[in-house]
Each structure stands twice: as C-alpha cells, then as structure tokens.
Structure 1
C-alpha cells in the first residue's frame, strides 16, 4: 500500500506537480544550454576542476541536490501535511535495516566487481590514491552524496510515484513515467556526451529497477540504500575524465569508453538477480498486482486501515 500512503496527507493533486515540474523545467534548460554550448561538457568540467579543484566542483554539483532533498521533505510536511514516514514507507516506521542491507549488498558487490575488473584489466586503471586528497573527498562524499541520492529517490520514487499513482489509479503508470524521467534527468551528463544516447538504456533501466524495488517492497528503503551505495562507492573508488563525478578517488579509469555489454549486463542480468535476492529475503508475492494492479480509492484505503486496526 505504498502509493496509497499519499492519502494520509492533505490531498490536492496539484501539490504533487509543483516541485517535479520546476525540476524538469530546470533540467530541460540545463540540457538546452549543454547542447548549444560551443564547449563540450567534458572540457567545461576540466576547466572548472583546474580553476577550483575537484573537491569544490563536487560540492557545487552536490549541494543544490542536497538542498533539494529538504525542499521535497519540507513541501511534503508543510504543504501536504503528510508525515515523512508515510512518504518513505507503508510500514509503521522507516526500516533502517533495509537501507543498510541494500547499501552493504550493493556496495560490497561494486567493490568486488571493480576489483575483479582491475585484476583482469590492469592497463585500464591507474592507482590514484593520495591520502591528503582522499580524506577531504571522503568527508564531502559521505556528507553530501547520501543527501543527493535521497533527493532523487524522494522526488521520483516517493513524491512523484505517490502523486501519479493517486492520479492514474494504477501502479504501472507511475512506474513507467518516473523511471523514464529519472533516466532523462541524466541526459546532460558527460557520460552521455562521451558514449552517446545508448547509455540511456542503463539510466532508464536503473530507474525501472529502483521503481520495482519500491513497489514490490512497499517502501523506499531498499532504493535509498542501493542508490547511496552506488554513487558513494563509485565516487570514492573509481573516477574517469568523462564521468559526472571526477574525484581524487583510489583509482582512475584511463580506458577508452565504449558502449558494450557493460551497459546491458547490469540492466538485464545484474538487476534481475538482485530483484530475485531481495524478493527471497523479504518474501515478495503478487508481483503482477503490485506492479500493474490498481490503486485503492481513499475510501477503500481508509476502510482497509480501519479493518486492520480492529483486527489488531
């Protein structure tokens, strides 16, 4: 009943579209500025890093999104008059164990897979570790990246997912719309400029994976943990001159990037395996109903809650 948690607020569907429309408009303007600029995204990033340093540039990239998290949470609490717990989960309280499990699982797998790739392709990597530079990076990353990833999750998989679900009265529309928009949000990234639009398969596929996690688990916790691990471990472990996060990480990838199986394997192999593992651990059932079924009306939701309260 995750989408139906939106009924616990002061309903007014227009309230669900103010922040998303503003954000989408900003991203659209950013994309137009990117494609019309005579300077490539990669060159612009290098110029900024040369002038300001990679840590300050990282702060400039992350800080607006970190602030965005508090805007979404504040809007939910003050305008929707909805609790942050009901925005996050259908459970009585936020399950921090789920967040930590998803973080540990994906963080561990990311480190393992990266280590394997470095072992078998050592010429593609340069050991880049510098304690004096790495410690400030780690502090910035640990403080800001979870806020950045949480903003994206609360915007797409919480705020927009609940609003679109209540409007469409089904689950597949919010799943598809939020997943595609999540992918398109990355279209101005330097990776897209370097690799082409084919990389959008990965971004949109990741959006679908996180959306399925949220709907099947009836909460945002697993998506929060996974997304934080993905961005944080990547920023600390490996960077490249053509990625959005260019940091003083432990390793630098110096290979020439190409679109290949490394884009398709996560979406069509790794993510399904992870969904299977999460499903077994948390006992997911009724996949068809949870992903494609209808959303209860407010009266049905209230009646169901009253019935469950009486049984308890």
Structure 2
C-alpha cells in the first residue's frame, strides 16, 4: 500500500502538484533552450569544461537536484505533514538493508559489464586513470550523486506516484506516466543528441523498472539503492566526450557512439531478471493487483490501518 501512504499527514491533492508541475516546467524550458541554442549540447559542455574544469561543471550539474532533495523533503514534512518514513516506504521504518543490497548488487553488475566490454573491445576504451583527479571526482560523486538520484526517486517514484495514484485511484496509470516523464527528463542529455531518440528506450525502460520495483516492494528502498549505484559507479568507471558526465573516470570511451547492445541489454534482459530475483528474495506476490489494481480511498485506507493495528 505504498501509494496510499500519501494519505498520511495533512492530505490535499493540490499539495502533490505544485512541485512536480514546477519541476516539469523547468525541464521543458531547459529543453527548449537546448533546441534553440546555436551550439550543440556536447559543444556547450566542452566549452564549460574548458573554462571551469570538469569537477566544477559536475558540481554545477548535480547541485540543483541535490538541493532539490532537501526542498522536496521539507515540503513533504512541513506542508503535507507526511512522515518521511511514509514518503519512503509502507514499512514501519526505512529498510536500509534493502538500499545497500540494491546499491552493491547493481554496482557489482555495472563493474562486471563494463570490464567485460573493456576486455572484449579494448580498442573502444582508453585508460584514463589519474590518482589525484580521480580522488577529487570520487569525493564529489560520493557526496552529491546519491542526493541527486534520491531527488529523482522521491520526485518521480515518490511524490508523483503517490499524488497521481491517489487522484486516479489505480496503479497502472501513475506507473506508466511517471516512467514516461522520467525518460523525457533526460531529453536534454548529450547522449540523446549523439545516439538518437532510440536511447529513450533505456531511460523510459529504467523508469518502468524502478516504478515496478517500488510498487511490488511497497517502498522506494530498492529503487534508491539501484539508482545511486547506477550513476555513481557509472561516473567513476567510464566517461566520454558525449556523455552527460564528462569527468576523470577510470576509462574513457573513445568509440564512435552507436545505439547498441549496451542500451538494450539492461531493458530487455537485466531488468526483467532483477525483478524476478527481487521477487524471489522478498516474496513478491499479487503482481496484477499491485501493478494495475485499485488504490484505496482515504476512508478505506484508514479503516484498514486501524484494523491492522488492532491485530
């Protein structure tokens, strides 16, 4: 009953719309400015990095969403008066073991896949490791990147999922809507310009995977751990001249950018396998009801909560 956790506190529908609409408007304006810019995204990034350095540019990219996390949590706590635990999970307390498990599981898979590709296609990669620049990069991503990814999870799989779900009173529509919006948020990334619109399969597919995980597990913990690992390990391991994070990673991808197996493999194979693995580990059941079923009214939810507390 993760969506129904939105009833806790001072529930009013308008409180779920101000921040998402503002964030979407900001993303739209950002995308429009990119479309009408006289220079491409990768040229713009290259110019900024030349002027400011890759670390400062990375900080400028991550800081708005990192700060946005605290603003979002403050809104939920002070305006919605919703307990942050209820904003995170339907469990009595946040399960940090789930967060760390998903983090290290996907982090390990990311390392394995990257090193496998480096081994079989060494011509596509250049050793880029320099100790001092790498340590500076590690400090930045360890500090800021989990905040950035947590903002995205709390905004899309938390605030929007609960708000839309409580409005339409079903689960499938907010699942699809938040997944598509999550994908569209990445339209301004340099990868889209280089690889084409087909890369949106990965972004929307990732949003769908994280949304399914959140609904089936009745909480954000697994999604929080996965997303943090995906961005953090990705930034530390690999960079390129056309990626969103152009930093002092261990390797640099020097291949010609193409839409290949590395985009489709996670969505078509790895994410379904992860869902099955999580289902086995955490005993997920009632897939149809949890993904497409009805959302309780506030009265039904409170009655159900009262009944559960008396047992």
Q: For this structure pair, what is the TM-score category when the shorter chain's length is used for normalisation? A: over 0.9
Report the Cα offset of residue 8 of structure 1: 0.5
Q: Name the counterpart of 1:202.
A: 202
Task: Point out where structure 1 has 5 or more consecutive residues left out of the alignment.
Answer: none
Q: Name the counterpart of 1:97.
A: 97
Q: Name the counterpart of 2:120.
A: 120
Report the Cα offset of residue 261 of structure 1: 2.8
Q: Give the distance between the partners of 1:301 and 1:37, measured in 2 at CA.
A: 49
1:156 aligns with 2:156: yes
Report the Cα offset of residue 218 of structure 1: 0.1
Q: Name the counterpart of 1:185.
A: 185
SS of the residue aligned with 2:66?
helix
Deviation by residue 1:149-198 (Cα, 9 ceiling, x = unmatched): 00000000000000001001000111011000000000000000111111
Comparing 218-227 with 256-265, which one deviates more in the overlay?
256-265
Q: Give the distance between the partners of 1:185 and 1:62, measured in 2 at CA.
A: 14
Deviation by residue 1:87-120 (Cα, 9 ceiling, x = unmatched): 0000000000000000010000000111110000
Q: Name the counterpart of 1:146.
A: 146
Q: Name the counterpart of 1:266.
A: 266
Q: Give the distance between the partners of 2:259 and 2:129, measured in 1 at CA.
A: 28
Q: Give the distance between the partners of 2:196 and 2:31, measured in 1 at CA.
A: 14
1:254 aligns with 2:251: no
Q: Name the counterpart of 1:14.
A: 14
Q: Give the distance between the partners of 1:265 and 1:229, measured in 2 at CA.
A: 17
Counterparts of 1:1-312 in structure 2, within 5 Å, are 1-311=1-311
Calculate the TM-score normalised by the size of structure 1: 0.99
Q: Give the distance between the partners of 1:140 and 1:261, measured in 2 at CA.
A: 30
SS of the residue aligned with 2:126?
strand
Q: Give the distance between the partners of 1:150 and 1:193, measured in 2 at CA.
A: 26
Report the Cα offset of residue 257 of structure 1: 1.1
Report the Cα offset of residue 260 of structure 1: 2.5
Report the Cα offset of residue 206 of structure 1: 0.4
In the alignment of these two chains, the number of paired residues is: 311
Report the Cα offset of residue 228 of structure 1: 0.1
Q: Give the distance between the partners of 1:262 and 1:218, measured in 2 at CA.
A: 29
Report the Cα offset of residue 236 of structure 1: 0.4
Deviation by residue 1:270-309 (Cα, 9 ceiling, x = unmatched): 1000000011000000000000000011111111111111
Calculate the TM-score normalised by the size of structure 2: 0.99
SS of the residue aligned with 1:257?
coil
Report the Cα offset of residue 132 of structure 1: 1.1
SS of the residue aligned with 1:165?
helix
Q: Give the distance between the partners of 2:240 and 2:88, measured in 1 at CA.
A: 34
SS of the residue aligned with 2:252?
strand
Deviation by residue 1:35-71 (Cα, 9 ceiling, x = unmatched): 1111000000001001100000000000000001011
Q: Give the distance between the partners of 2:225 and 2:50, measured in 1 at CA.
A: 33
Q: Give the distance between the partners of 1:18 and 1:277, measured in 2 at CA.
A: 37
Comparing 262-271 with 169-178, which one deviates more in the overlay?
262-271
Report the Cα offset of residue 262 of structure 1: 2.5
Q: Give the distance between the partners of 1:225 and 1:263, measured in 2 at CA.
A: 21
Q: Give the distance between the partners of 1:27 and 1:305, measured in 2 at CA.
A: 38
